Amino acid sequence: MVNPLIVALDLGTAEEAVRMARRVEPHVGAFKVGLGLLHGAGPGIVTALVDLGKPVFADAKLHDIPSQVGAAARRLGRLGVRWVTAHVSGGEAMLRAAVEGLADTSHGYAGLLGVTVLTSLNEADLSAAGITSTPGKLVSRMSRLADEGGCEGVVCSPQELTVVGSVAPDLIRVTPGVRPAGIAAGDQRRVMTPAEAIARGADWLVIGRPITEADDPVAAAAGLVEDLGIPG
């Protein structure tokens, strides 16, 4: 069984992120770099993590006109990333530009993940923004669009995993908003435990603070692996 844990290295500096990655590397399947480090430390953090030998997920959340997104994807593809994210709400042409940009420079290694509805949002938040769909219905439409746009997968909350599986079964499903039992949800709204998310069809689990802010991050990561029954 492939280790499905992607540790979100949302730390203050590149040095802290690399140190954390080295510590937990035996117990995770991949590393994620978010906007804070991508806009702070810059692309060098991606290269440093790629050198550790695990897949790296650049959570860039690209969202612009197709030409700009394509250019950004080309640059990210050169760094050796395994996945890059783009907001599905940017439309099919934008998604295809990102897919093509990644393919140009990664020689087919990197894939695009379409961000559907952020796990920090609920139905009331969507309504306040003028969106009348429920999160589930919106994720359903966005998953179809991601599939049509050439994405390798989507990012969705655990609560929409079965929806994605029903409308776009070929897409891999990457889910943040995963919290072990007894851990505070923080700014996440639509959450589940790791075991519940796997049972609903998640391929990859993005887990950050429950590991990186634990008193013993190595033990926290190892415990998650053990709870999921993943061979050590």
Question: Which residues are tagged catalytic?
Answer: 61
**Position 44, amino acid:** G
**Position 72, amino acid:** A
Strand stretches in the chain, DSSP E: 5-8, 30-33, 56-62, 83-87, 111-115, 153-155, 172-175, 204-207
Tokens of 123: 């139905």
Closest among 185, 181, 204 to 193, alpha carbons compared: 181
Query: Under 8 Å CB-to-CB from 125, ≥6 apart: which residues?
Result: 189
Beta bridge partners of 87: 115
